[in-house]
């Protein structure tokens, strides 16, 4: 409410006020192709399934890292060709905040991240965010307690304000075992992105050591870790790095303007272009880069 948290709909509303802006919603884009100085986009209307073709001088794709990978690899017919994929590894750790014991919790607490912690170690940083359990659901904890529901509920009402939940995020860099490949759908089935994400043993060791370091600092703040939960690869949802802007020129990468190499005027404006990702959530960086791409393209097309 009241625009206190950014949503893309606010930007869309600003754009819709411009006379030279058209919003074609509820289309599924399935391919693009270049023809001379034009780019064509093929899409299907979700209402009625009619096929459409839209044409322009340039195309900016921001379908999310996975959506863009699917669309680019398909449009360039690069099936069975691995491209890198990144996703911040993370763990979350419920802690008992001893400082809250015996105190009356304030009910008007913000339910998003309460605090961000940055720990610098040589060559990298580690990032942790603290949430109160207020934002989550008590019934999810109730089933974990070895008590009857009524007793569990009473106990949790007393305990929940004393929990502080940490989300600990790590940076991510490409490696030969983090790949994304487009496979051609057989017998009319849709094309499918196949993803393999295996961090090296060295990376896993580093994550565990870094998490211990972060938890040491939180113990000093009297937050006692109860358990470390690893939700699995891909769970941070911070996807990036499929067509990066690298130091050297390679196919299936972007140049410094975020133009996809091998195309004349197809630009990527989402997580695809990042060669690595820091541990902090990537969305502000995505927005800053999308703004940069739009500004640059407006200059080029002027």
Binding interface with ligand FAD (CB under 6 A): 27-29, 62-64, 67, 71, 237-238, 270-271, 281-283, 286
Q: Using the minimum distance from each CB to ligand FAD, give the nearer residue, 5 or 247.
A: 5
User: Which of residues 152 and 242 has its CB atom nearest to ligand FAD in the complex?
Assistant: 242
Q: Residue 268's beta-bridge partner residues?
A: 61
Closer residue to ligand FAD (CB): 33 or 222: 33
Helices of type H across 58-143:
65-75, 138-142
Nearest distance in Å: CB 103, ligand FAD: 28
Nearest C-alpha neighbor of 180 from the set 79, 64, 33, 262: 79
CB of 122 to ligand FAD, least distance (A): 25
Closest CA to 126 of 20, 4, 229, 217: 217
CB of 217 to ligand FAD, least distance (A): 21
Tokens for 91, please give them: 């763990």
Minimum distance of ligand FAD from residue 237's CB (angstroms) = 4
Give 206 or 286: the residue with its C-beta nearer to ligand FAD: 286
CA distances from 191 to 57, 83, 262 (A): 27, 16, 22
For the CB of residue 98, give the shortest distance to ligand FAD in the complex, in Å: 27
Closest CB to ligand FAD: residue number: 281
Closest approach of ligand FAD to the CB of residue 30, in Å: 6
In DSSP notation, 205-248 reads HHHHHHHHHHHHHHHHTTEEE---B---TTTT--EE-SS---SS
- As given in the structure block, the two tokens for residue 281 are 């959530």
Beta strands at 163-169 and 266-268: parallel, antiparallel or unpaired: unpaired
Closer to ligand FAD by Cβ: residue 28 or 276: 28
**Which CB sits closer to ligand FAD, 155 or 275?**
275
Spatial distance between the Cα atoms of 64 and 56, rounded to a whole number of angstroms: 21
The answer for 15, left when phi > 0, alpha when psi is -120 to 50, beta otherwise, is alpha
Compare residues 64 and 145 and give the one whose CB is closer to ligand FAD.
64
| Residue 234 Cβ vs ligand FAD, minimum distance, rounded to whole Å | 11
Return d(Cα 301, Cα 264) in angstroms, integer.
13
């Amino acid at each position: 409410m009241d625009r206190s948290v950014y949503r893309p709909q606010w930007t869309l509303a600003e754009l819709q006020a411009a006379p030279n802006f058209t919003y074609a919603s509820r289309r599924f884009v399935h391919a693009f192709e270049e023809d001379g100085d034009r780019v064509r986009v093929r899409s299907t209307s979700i209402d009625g399934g009619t096929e459409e073709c839209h044409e322009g001088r340039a195309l900016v794709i921001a379908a999310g890292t996975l959506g863009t990978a699917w669309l680019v690899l398909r449009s360039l017919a690069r099936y069975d060709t691995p491209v890198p994929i990144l996703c911040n590894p993370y763990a979350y750790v419920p802690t008992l905040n001893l400082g809250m014991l015996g105190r009356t919790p304030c009910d008007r607490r913000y339910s998003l991240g309460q605090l961000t912690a940055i720990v610098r170690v040589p060559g990298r940083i580690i990032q942790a965010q603290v949430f109160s359990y207020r934002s989550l659901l008590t019934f999810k904890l109730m089933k974990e307690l070895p008590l009857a529901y009524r007793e569990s509920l009473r106990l949790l009402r007393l305990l929940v304000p004393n929990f502080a939940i940490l989300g600990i995020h790590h940076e991510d860099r490409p490696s030969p075992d983090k790949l994304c490949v487009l496979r051609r759908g057989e017998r009319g089935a849709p094309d499918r992105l196949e993803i393999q994400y295996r961090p090296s043993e060295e990376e896993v060791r580093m994550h565990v050591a870094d998490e211990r370091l972060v938890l040491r600092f939180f113990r000093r703040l009297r937050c006692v870790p109860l358990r470390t939960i690893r939700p699995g690869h891909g769970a941070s949802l911070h996807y990036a790095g499929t067509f990066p802007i690298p130091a050297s020129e390679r196919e299936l990468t972007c140049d410094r303007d975020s133009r996809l190499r091998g195309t004349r005027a197809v630009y990527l404006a989402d997580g695809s272009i990042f060669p690595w990702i820091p541990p902090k959530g990537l969305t502000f960086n995505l927005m800053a880069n999308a703004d940069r791409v739009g500004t640059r393209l407006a200059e080029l097309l002027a």
